[in-house]
Amino acid sequence: MTSTISGEIQFGIFFHGVNFTTIWHWPESGDQIDFESFRRFAQTAERGKFAAFFLGEGLRLREHLGRLHDLDVVGRPDAQTAEAALAAVTTRLGLVATQSTTYNDPADLAYRLASLNHLSQGRNAWNIVTTHNAWTGENFRRGGYVSYEDRYRHADSFVTAVKEIWRAGERGEPGLRYRDDFYDLDVRRTLPLVPGGRPVLFQAGDSPSGRDFAVRHADIIFSAHPEFGDATAFAADIEQRALRAGRAPGSVRPFPGSTFVVADSEKEAQDKWYEVRRAQITPQTAVAYLEQFWGRELQDFDPDGPLPDVDPVITDADVTRGSGFQANNTRKLIDAWRGQARDRGWSIREFVINHTNRGNDTNGFVGTPSSIADSLQRYAETGIVAGFNISPYLTPVGLDEIVNLLVPELQDRGIYPREYAGTTLREHLGLSEEVPG
């Protein structure tokens, strides 16, 4: 049975790849490829008793209007390779690598994850993602490979196969035969896992089908619901889905993403947050953000002027712009944005700053160690989240203020661990050794 660490919250770090929230042009910014950035972040997180270090997967560079998006990072190391390197320079920190069920093979990925399970002594985890677009598939000469409608059916088959391969290794069997609608495998390559169970499974589905998939397989579900009321509703929905799926109570814990800005006074924190937001949303970034919805060049429009008065080129966003811009009724959306910006007197840049806000009233915590701890206390006491996956705005020094100022305050209140619960990520998160089906 899965248990939770009562009255405590955990922290994780999300080392971003594709995003505009990391500030790369400040003097203290590092490099998203240099191993020193990964090492510094990971060792700072471990000093702060963070549960896990999370890396996304970049299978194809982000494009913008048919060209590489040069306002974003260009390229990043493979997530699992980076996590293997970090296993050698840390001793307790969990290591979470995103791996797609579409562009991997079950037998090969099961073996690689089992290998990292040994190298890290039970500290690794797999963040399960589905990929269905032909844009990414072009790298693999498969087109879309899996249809949008079948992505979770295929992912369910993939994850089930991986689990069966792990079980065969645990039983000391040299392999197994696995067949279903998607796979016909005759596996002759297994590896026992370290004592304490299989790698922790993370998932980030938010649609109804995504949530159902998560409760069938995951231990932790990343979410975009950090605000207390929203987080409470999300946790209740996940718990009900998990119970219907036959999972034990508390088996699947939400781990929402969030941002933190910490300072010695409330005014200093708010001033710092304003400075951060304006550094994240430069004039060029603001215009490029709108171009993703308009589907056309907007460089002739003044970032300090009103929203563009031209119509979008297409109705639905192209997949090359990323999943966040798909399935939008663009014309209707843009009309609403123009009205909002006009009513509030916002320029293009001001609109994007406010529209993408991850600040104190939406997806983040801004304040003093004491005021942020007051907010986090409710989450710890109610247990609605396992913790928060923090997205620092600076690489690799963005955790320093959190570890140096906030963590001690939380520890003094007894709502954050002073020491790691054990040696494995499963122990850090209070998860059982049982391997669910």
pLDDT in tens, 17-74: 667 788 988 999 988 889 999 999 999 999 999 999 999 887 877 777 777 666 666 6
Report the amino acid identity of residue 293.
F
What SS3 string covers 190-236? CCCCCCCCCCEEEECCCCHHHHHHHHHHCCEEEECCCCHHHHHHHHH
State pLDDT tens for residues 305-339.
999 999 888 655 555 555 545 545 788 889 999 99
Q: What pLDDT is stored for residue 61 in this prediction?
A: 75
Phi/psi zone of residue 337: left (φ > 0), alpha (ψ -120 to 50 degrees), beta?
alpha
**Bridge partners of residue 329, in order along the sequence:** none
Q: What pLDDT is stored for residue 327 in this prediction?
A: 46
Q: Tokens representing 155?
A: 């992912």
Among 346, 388, 367, 324, smallest CA distance to 11 is for 388
Q: Which CA distances in Å does 285 have to 20, 61, 294, 350?
A: 8, 17, 14, 12
Q: What pLDDT is stored for residue 22 in this prediction?
A: 87
Below-50 pLDDT ranges, the chain: 1-4, 324, 327, 359-362, 435-436
**Residue length of the chain:** 437
Q: Which CA distances in Å does 36 have to 27, 31, 40, 116?
A: 16, 8, 6, 21
Query: CA Rg, the chain, in Å?
Result: 22
Give the Cα separation of 222 and 256 in Å (integer).
Answer: 5
Contact 193, 117 (CB under 8 A): yes
Among 269, 242, 281, smallest CA distance to 406 is for 269
Q: What pLDDT is stored for residue 3 in this prediction?
A: 40
